[in-house]
Amino acid sequence: MTKGTRNRTRGILLSKDFIMTKGTRNRTRGILFSKDFIMTKGTKNRTRGILLSKDFIMTKGTRNRTRGILLSKDFIMTKGTRNRTRGILLSKDFIMTKGTRNRTRGILTRGILLSKDFIMTKGTRNRTRGILLSKDFIMTKGTRNRTRGILLSKDFILTKGTRNRTRGILLSKDFIMTKGSRNRTRGILLSKDFIMTKGTRNRTRGILLSKDFIMTKGTRNRTR
């Protein structure tokens, strides 16, 4: 209530989280603040402040008297403690280039944010260099921690070597090999409608023909 009694009153609707800036419950002036309100000065009854979430990180002072900014739980401190800290907002997928979680320098400060699919080209998780690659990354040389390669889909066809050490090109599931096996192969990208003019599926010569192709002579494997 801003004025009057319970039966006759003038006022506004205030929640339980109302913080009074001056006066009493019956006669009061103030603004609506949430439970997460952080006071910058004063007491609960007389206060100045701003609305901050539970994830507020104080840059200086105490909970009652504080200066700071709103940061998420994923905040990575670059220096200091939780109460007195300097830092930037980083995701859980932050990869540290040097240091620990409390005192750290990282890729977001000097580069880019990396996902869980980050493939390290050198080093460990704490000290690393690398690029953002998908789960479908095919290594051309080395191991998962130390690797060189390119981003290829699951449909990658190896032209030589194994999955860890390989050379090849990105081909669809409809790839028709003209010579060799799946691991060692030469060929071209052909659709499911490919009609072989000679040979078998593994060793074949032919042309790309539509489903509406009418054979004038021969079988599906040998046809004109």
Sequence spans of domains, the chain: 20-70, 72-132, 136-224
Type of residue at 59 = T
pLDDT digits (tens, 9 = 90+) for 28-74: 444 444 444 444 554 554 444 444 444 444 445 454 444 444 444 44
Look up the pTM and report it: 0.14
pLDDT above 50 (res 201) = no
pLDDT digits (tens, 9 = 90+) for 156-194: 444 444 444 444 444 444 444 445 444 444 444 444 444
pLDDT above 50 (res 19) = no
Distance CA 198, CA 37 (A): 79
